[in-house]
């Protein structure tokens, strides 16, 4: 009896310790850098939506805003302002569905307008990362894509790279000259082996390029999605089930004719 009471007390204390522990809060980070002329960053607590300013260097002015969609649970950290010689519209944002599920995780990096205010070419880089993703189960597929539109001028040396738990996807490259040129790159998803090596895990993205003098882009961005592919045995079972259903229907049709 005493032994039972001792075990019960230990279990109770352990449970209280777990309940009293502070839960880990995932963070969504957005960093904007302009050709050595300035950089600005901030992080968002994806549980509360609270924004914490990060380091700022050089010439960088603007403000960050955050939101959490109550229906989809997606979190957004946006920036509106000027970094160096480049203006970034309000929709320069990192969107994440962190913590995700064991079957789906997504990190999106998008912009409405990026404009070079200078008479010479200027390079820029937008990076985002999100922590606290739920570990997937099963075979994992990583899918990366980028798209956008060049409205005026030119863009060169553009690239989009994504990483998930140390696995790198891309870079996807793009360049264009002229007005209203569409950019898009979406290769087939890549199977990932040995994923994840840690749980929870982190995803990150970087979008970069060089804008010509007085050039502007619209809707430039990229997306990294981690999904779980069906197990081969599951696919085989599903195909077998469909076949059996088909055979059963043929058998009933034959018997009805007889």
Given a cut of 70, whether residue 211 has pLDDT beyond it is yes
Query: What are the sequence ranges of the domains in the chain?
Result: 21-231
Q: How many Å apart are CA 124 and CA 156, to the nearest integer?
A: 11
Contact 117, 128 (CB under 8 A): no
* Comparison of pLDDT for 51 and 136, the residue scoring more: 51
pTM recorded for the entire structure? 0.80
**Residue 236, pLDDT score:** 38
Contact 93, 78 (CB under 8 A): yes
Q: For residue 117, give both structure tokens.
A: 């205010």
Reported as a single tens digit per residue, the pLDDT across 163-181 is 999 999 989 999 999 989 9
**Residue 232, pLDDT score:** 54
Reported as a single tens digit per residue, the pLDDT across 70-122 is 998 899 999 999 999 888 875 678 889 999 888 999 999 999 999 998 889 99
The beta strand positions in the chain, using DSSP E, are 27-34, 38-45, 51-53, 57-58, 60-68, 75-83, 86-96, 104-110, 113-116, 122-133, 139-152, 154-164, 167-177, 181-185, 190-192, 201-211, 216-229
Q: What is the mean pLDDT of residues 125-146?
A: 93
Given a cut of 90, whether residue 126 has pLDDT beyond it is yes
The answer for residues whose C-beta is within 8 angstroms of residue 195's C-beta and 6 or more apart is 136, 140, 164, 165, 167
Given a cut of 60, whether residue 245 has pLDDT beyond it is no
C-alpha dihedral, 198 to 202 to 207 to 208, nearest 10° = -70
Given a cut of 90, whether residue 43 has pLDDT beyond it is yes
């Amino acid at each position: 009896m005493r032994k039972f009471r001792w075990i019960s007390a230990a279990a109770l204390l352990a449970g209280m310790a777990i309940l009293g522990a502070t839960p880990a809060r995932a963070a969504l980070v957005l960093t904007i850098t302009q050709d050595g002329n300035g950089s600005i960053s901030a992080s968002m607590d994806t549980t509360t939506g609270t924004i914490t300013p990060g380091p700022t260097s050089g010439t960088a002015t603007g403000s960050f805003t955050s939101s959490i969609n109550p229906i989809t649970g997606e979190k957004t950290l946006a920036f509106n302002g000027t970094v160096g010689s480049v203006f970034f519209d309000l929709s320069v944002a990192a969107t994440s569905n962190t913590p995700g599920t064991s079957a789906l995780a997504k990190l999106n990096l998008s912009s409405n307008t990026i404009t070079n205010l200078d008479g010479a070419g200027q390079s820029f880089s937008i990076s985002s990362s999100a922590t606290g993703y739920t570990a997937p189960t099963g075979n994992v597929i990583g899918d990366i894509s980028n798209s956008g539109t060049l409205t005026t001028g030119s863009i060169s040396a553009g690239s989009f790279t994504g990483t998930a738990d140390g696995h790198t996807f891309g870079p996807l490259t793009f360049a264009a000259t002229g007005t209203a040129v569409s950019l898009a790159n979406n290769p087939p998803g890549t199977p990932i082996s040995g994923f994840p090596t840690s749980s929870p895990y982190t995803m990150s993205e970087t979008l970069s390029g060089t804008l010509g003098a007085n050039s502007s882009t619209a809707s430039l961005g990229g997306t990294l999605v981690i999904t779980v592919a069906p197990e081969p045995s599951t696919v085989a079972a599903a195909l077998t089930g469909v076949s059996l259903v088909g055979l059963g229907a043929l058998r009933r049709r034959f018997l009805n004719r007889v």
